[in-house]
Structure 1
Amino acid sequence: MQGVFTGFATIGVVIAVGALLAHLRIVDLTAQRILSQVAFFVGSPALMVMTLSRADVHDVLSRNLVATSAAVLVPVVVYGLLARFVWHRRLGDATIGALSAAYVNAGNLGIPVASYVLGDAALVAPTLLLQLLVLQPIALALLDADALGRAPSLLQLVTRPFRNPLTLGSLLGVLLSVTGWTLPDVVGNPLELLGNLAVPSMLIAYGIALRLGPGLGAAGSVAELVTTSALKLVVQPLVAYAVAHVALGVDGPALLAIVVTSALPTAQNIFVHATRYDRGTVLARDTILITTVGAVPVILLVAALLG
């Protein structure tokens, strides 16, 4: 279980650095926004190119993807219905809330957990591809549409994701993986370097926001925060288990991989998206905090029961 603690501890330390910098008044909320923008427009697209170019895209055709997709769909639908009919959230805020309830930290935490706990970093690839190529483009299209202040046309919904740097980086990475092409060093090395700044930028920006932003639950209903956190930590892994084991007959290490991946906390880049579009920032921040802390015992329990 050392990999679980190592992954969470690494994230926690970098977040703490951001909070400390803010506490010492070395940086402020302006710096937080700049870091988030750099991560969104530069670091994350480069990271997606390099990460997905090395992934085995044939894994997306596995039972893993079916169970993972169902585990994402259920929390998104549940939160979406509540956001629409109970909390009456606008489109952008509801989109960030849905992402907070279902978008797992498959990159900077999922990869080390898959490596150390499951023994194979490639096991997280189906989740990465599902999120980057399906869930994220749809969410970004909705966020872009909300920013326009009007309902998007079908053409806008179809084309807008492809104007987004993260989507373009993801698609380029998949193209490289499928074709087997390797970027020349003069291109690959700078992309690798730029990609390395994505996760630290996200985490430091998140730490700044924790220190200088509103208090926990200050931006809305506590029930909404509890809902997003429960959907992420409890509902998503339970749905993954039910679909994988009961419906598809998955067992053993493959089942453990599916459930552990679904039990990962909300990804930090959801906070980057929230900051970029100025929608649901505190809900995203608080859900990330709660699920990051809560995922440790959840993943340990899953590993104990299924390992």
Structure 2
Amino acid sequence: MNLALTVLEITAPVFILGMIGFVWVKMGFEYRVEFVTRLAMTISVPCLIFVALMQTEIDPNALTLLSLATVAAYGAVTLLCWGLVAIGKLDRRTYLAPLIMGNTGNLGLPLCLFAFGEAGFGYAVVVFAIMAIYSFTFGIWLVAGGGSPLKVLKEPIVAATILGALFLWQGWETPTFLTNALGLVGDMAIPIMLITLGVAVARLTPAHLPLSIILSALKVVVCVGAAALLAQWFGLESTAAAVLIVQIATPVAVTSYLLAEKYGADADAVAGLVVASTVMSLITIPLTLAFLV
């Protein structure tokens, strides 16, 4: 009973905020996803990452080890999902990137914060930053069929990650007034992203739902298995290992749908993956946390 209550306390705030966005749209109220997403990804999330890295008290060596494990985990997931797509004779541009890239920002960050505290949140920011860089390079290349890796250097999230890592490495801190201001801007990110997730799910037009359900289930198995094995291989301590598993196994991100729509992949099929995996996460996330908390 205590375990069930603990898991509920962790997951309930996340899903309640998502439900607020979902109900808001269903009631017919306006919500400009493009504006809110741009605000979050250009200003709020970079501030969140920078402050989190600058203020983290985690040993830099532990963060380095987690970074290596994260890169290895995404490499393993990429190979396994590539195999699934090939075996199923599915369109690679449509299905591969969504199966690899999880919702480590909108969903993963708040989950890790509520489940593992500030230390877990610091680890989660590292995994999110690596996933974002991977998504802006390899992910876009998969969906668009090309693209320049140098574009990633223009992303505010990447700049914030590099700057935050530099401050962490050197032990620097911004003046208190600036840290407080950046912290306030960063604090917007988590509630905004969760509400926007609910809005986006409410507006999606999913297709191929039976296939989406099967692929979403396989994604959970592949991601949890790969992350758990590599966490053990790299000898991550318990909190870092748990964060890696939760982040790698997050459901398909709404960003995958936006990229599919932008670059001409089957956006409705990706919408089916987003909806199926997000709804499935109502079960899979509590079950995962029950073994990790």
Provide the TM-score with structure 2 as the length reference.
0.79
List runs of 5+ in structure 1 lacking aligned partners: 116-120
Question: Superposition pairs for residues 145-160 of structure 1, below 5 Å?
Answer: 145=141, 151-152=146-147, 156-157=148-149, 159-160=150-151
Structure 1 residue aligned with 2:250? 266
C-alpha distance in structure 1 between counterparts of 2:136 and 2:238, whole Å: 30
**Distance verdict in 2 for CA 1:151–1:275, change over 3 Å:** closer
- Cα distance in 2, alignment partners of residues 103 and 83 from structure 1: 25
2:275 and 2:131 map into 1 onto residues whose CA distance is: 19
Shift in Å at residue 49 of structure 1? 1.0
Deviation track 1:104-126 (CA, whole Å, cap 9, x = no partner) reads 954211122113xxxxx425644
3-state DSSP class of the match of 2:21? Answer: helix
Query: Which runs of 5 or more residues in structure 2 are unaligned?
Result: none
- Whole-Å Cα distance in 2 between the matches of residues 49 and 39 of structure 1? 14
| Alignment correspondent of 2:135 | 139
Cα-Cα RMSD: 3.3
Match of 1:82 in 2: 84
Q: For residues 124 and 195 of structure 1, what CA distance do their matches in structure 2 show?
A: 13
Deviations 1:147-175 (A, max 9, x none): 8x5633xxx31x22111111112112111
Pairwise CA distance, 1:44:
1.1
Q: Secondary structure at the match of 1:108?
A: helix
- 2:119 alignment counterpart: 122
How many percent of aligned residue pairs carry the same amino acid? Answer: 16
After superposition, the Cα gap between the structure-2 partners of 1:78 and 1:114, relative to the gap in structure 1 and judged at 3 Å, is: same
Give deviations 1:37-72, integer Å, cap 9, x for gaps. Answer: 22222221111111122233321344x555554443
Matches within 5 A, 1:1-307: 1=3, 2-28=5-31, 31-55=32-56, 56=58, 57-62=60-65, 67-83=69-85, 86-90=89-93, 94-100=96-102, 105-115=107-117, 121-123=118-120, 125-132=122-129, 134-145=130-141, 151-152=146-147, 156-157=148-149, 159-214=150-205, 218-220=206-208, 222-232=210-220, 234-245=221-232, 247=233, 254-255=237-238, 258-259=241-242, 261-263=244-246, 265-266=249-250, 270-272=253-255, 274-275=257-258, 278=261, 282=271, 283-300=273-290, 302-303=291-292
**In the alignment, is the contact (CA less than 8 A) between 1:263 and 1:298 conserved in 2?**
yes
2-structure distance, mates of 1:267, 1:196 = 23
CA distance in 2, matches of 1:84, 1:103: 28
Secondary structure of 1:75's counterpart equals helix
Structure 1's 101 and 183: CA in aligned 2 closer, same or farther, altered over 3 A?
closer
- What is the CA-CA distance between 1:183 and the residue it aligns to? 1.1
CA distance in 1, matches of 2:104, 2:74: 5
Distance 1:38 1:272, change over 3 A: farther
In 1: Cα distance, 2:159 partner to 2:251 partner = 19
- Tell me which amino acid in the other structure corresponds to 1:129: V
Number of aligned pairs?
279
Distance 1:146 1:71, change over 3 A: closer
**1:210-259, Cα deviation, whole Å (9 max, x unpaired):** 32322xxx234633443244323x333333443444x5677xxx357514
Runs of 4+ in 1 over 6 A off after TM superposition: 101-104
**Whole-Å Cα distance in 1 between the matches of residues 124 and 284 of structure 2?**
20
